[in-house]
Amino acid sequence: MKAALIDLKTERNRRIPNPDQIIIAGAGIAGLALALALSEKGFSVQIFEKSATLAEIGAGLQVSPNATRLLARLGVLERLKYASVEPQAICLQDGTSGEKLLHLPIGNAAKERWGAPYLVCHRADLQNALLTEARSRSNIAVQLQSTVTHHKGDSEGVLVRVQYHDRIEEHRGALLVGADGVWSNMRTAMSDAERARYTGTIAWRSSIAVDQLPGSFNALLPQGTNVVAWTGANAHLIAYPIRSGQMINFVAVALDRQNGRRWDAPTNPENVSQNFIREFASWHQGIRDVMRAGRPWTPWRLFEMKKCRFHVEDRVVLIGDAAHAMTPYAAQGAAMAIEDGFTLAEALTIDAATWPSALDEFSKVRTKRIAAVARRGALNHLAYHAKGPIALARNIVLRKRPVDKFVKGFDWLYGFDAGKHMEG
């Protein structure tokens, strides 16, 4: 949808914006986290969300300590803990032989080393925890079935047009934040902004009740409650518990051999699903069995943006996937969305007249962080999907390198406190 200019000359629209009123497009992870962070700072927040309900979208999420420390401050962590699981370790195994390659303790280690827990949960449980907290705050209003269609900013504020059922509403705020996800209208409306690009890979998602898992797969699992990743040529599979441990969430990432780089090619879901399962034909029996048990597998085409774009205009800013959609190899998209929200709220706690420069600084700080996380994701991609001699070398490194070196290698990522980084 193309952004249209809004006529600011009418008397109604010339109203002075409330300097404390922030408008957010999208009640996903980024939008809700930002709303809570702003509410803590005393702002009043209006969120418009185009969906009629916020439920069951997506699948499992790993929520690392850099995000859970912020969720704790937003009053959301305790609520999330009921529905989530704290895994004891992250384990890497060879997808063909089943051989164990790495066992990284993450349970107590996360709290002791990084000061916050490592959790796994369903995306809907995280979103519900954020939403319930947002609804309990008197300075946050969430309006569903409301699509932000246009906006017009000036040096003092922004006028936002919202489609609510068959009605068009106009709202004036001091700032508009686009937290409208990978398909962000606000981003695509900018002529010079990079669009999210299809990576030619698909994440297949499924979940299976713990008591329905095939025995051959159970035999492959390490002892305890863990996040387990199996590596293979051009593909990997990740499994971890969700829904208080009653279900196992699976994400299998493989090349889209049918459509190559065309994400919009028409597909027959049954054929595509068959082809996907064939990708794992030479993998360990336990994995082949779980692939068959896991139907339906839901495809999720993976998109990414090579360049972040946060600060759009004086009074318009993007966060979350709208600013920097990334591939899931570092399991950090939602964590980055939460960090963005937290840091943005910090940036705005100064005189509104200096917001443009504060937003430039915010953009600089977050661009640096996102670039580092994207590099880690690219490295994980190489490591997970390696084949031939590179896979052999990877396995040797994983087996031989002391575990504490791996743990230390996560300090910059999981030890990060987004509430303290406006100074860079």
User: Is residue 134 within the footprint of ligand FAD (CB under 6 A)?
Assistant: no
Task: State the nearest-atom distance from the C-beta of 399 to ligand FAD, in Å.
Answer: 25
Binding region for ligand FAD (CB under 6 A) out of 5-13, 44-52, 207-215, 279-287: 44-52
The Cα–Cα gap between 379 and 398 comes to: 14
Binding mask 145-174 for ligand FAD (x = CB under 6 A): --xx--------------------------
The Cα–Cα gap between 103 and 227 comes to: 10
Q: How many CB atoms lie within 10 A of CB 192?
A: 5
Q: Which is nearer to ligand FAD, 300 or 352 (CB)?
A: 300
Task: State the nearest-atom distance from the C-beta of 320 to ligand FAD, in Å.
Answer: 2
Task: State the nearest-atom distance from the C-beta of 48 to ligand FAD, in Å.
Answer: 5
DSSP single-letter state for residue 395: H
Q: Which is nearer to ligand FAD, 77 or 148 (CB)?
A: 148
User: Is residue 279 within the footprint of ligand FAD (CB under 6 A)?
Assistant: no
62: its two tokens: 């790993």
The Cα–Cα gap between 225 and 150 comes to: 47
168: its two tokens: 């068009």
Contacts of 227 (CB under 8 A, 6+ apart): 62, 87, 89, 90, 91, 106, 120, 238, 239, 240
Binding mask 178-207 for ligand FAD (x = CB under 6 A): -xxx---x-----------------x----
User: Is residue 374 within the footprint of ligand FAD (CB under 6 A)?
Assistant: no
User: Is residue 329 within the footprint of ligand FAD (CB under 6 A)?
Assistant: no
CB burial readout 333-353, b (16+ within 10 A) else e: bbbbbbbbbbbbbbbbeeebe
DSSP single-letter state for residue 56: S
Task: State the nearest-atom distance from the C-beta of 267 to ligand FAD, in Å.
Answer: 17
CB 353 within 8 A of CB 225: no
In degrees to the nearest 10, what's the CA dihedral of 216, 106, 333, 123?
A: 60
User: Is residue 229 within the footprint of ligand FAD (CB under 6 A)?
Assistant: no
Using the structure block, give the residue that is written with the tokens 């916020």. 54
Detail the DSSP E strand segments found in 95-196. Answer: 100-105, 119-122, 140-143, 146-153, 158-164, 167-173, 175-178
End-to-end Cα, the chain, rounded Å? 35
Task: State the nearest-atom distance from the C-beta of 202 to ligand FAD, in Å.
Answer: 9
* Choice from 175, 331, 365, 370 touching ligand FAD (CB under 6 A): 331
Binding region for ligand FAD (CB under 6 A) out of 81-89, 104-112, 314-322, 371-379: 314-322
Residue of this chain nearest to ligand FAD (CB atom): 28
Q: Which is nearer to ligand FAD, 217 or 303 (CB)?
A: 303
Binding region for ligand FAD (CB under 6 A) out of 5-13, 27-35, 99-107, 380-388: 27-35
User: Is residue 61 within the footprint of ligand FAD (CB under 6 A)?
Assistant: yes
What is the separation of C-alpha 37 from the centre of its chain, rounded to a whole number of angstroms?
A: 17
User: Is residue 26 within the footprint of ligand FAD (CB under 6 A)?
Assistant: yes
The Cα–Cα gap between 38 and 313 comes to: 20
Residues that bind ligand FAD (rule: CB under 6 A) add up to a total of 33
Residues 92-131 that bind ligand FAD (CB under 6 A): none
Q: Which is nearer to ligand FAD, 242 or 287 (CB)?
A: 242
Strand order from edge to edge, sheet including 235-242 = 100-105, 89-94, 226-232, 235-242, 247-255, 197-209, 298-304
Backbone angles phi, psi at 370, to 5 degrees: -65, -40
Q: Which is nearer to ligand FAD, 95 or 181 (CB)?
A: 181
Binding region for ligand FAD (CB under 6 A) out of 50-58, 241-249, 257-265, 406-414: 50-58
Interface with ligand FAD by CB under 6 A: which residues? 25-31, 48-51, 58, 61-62, 147-148, 179-181, 185, 203, 251, 300, 320-322, 328, 331-335, 337
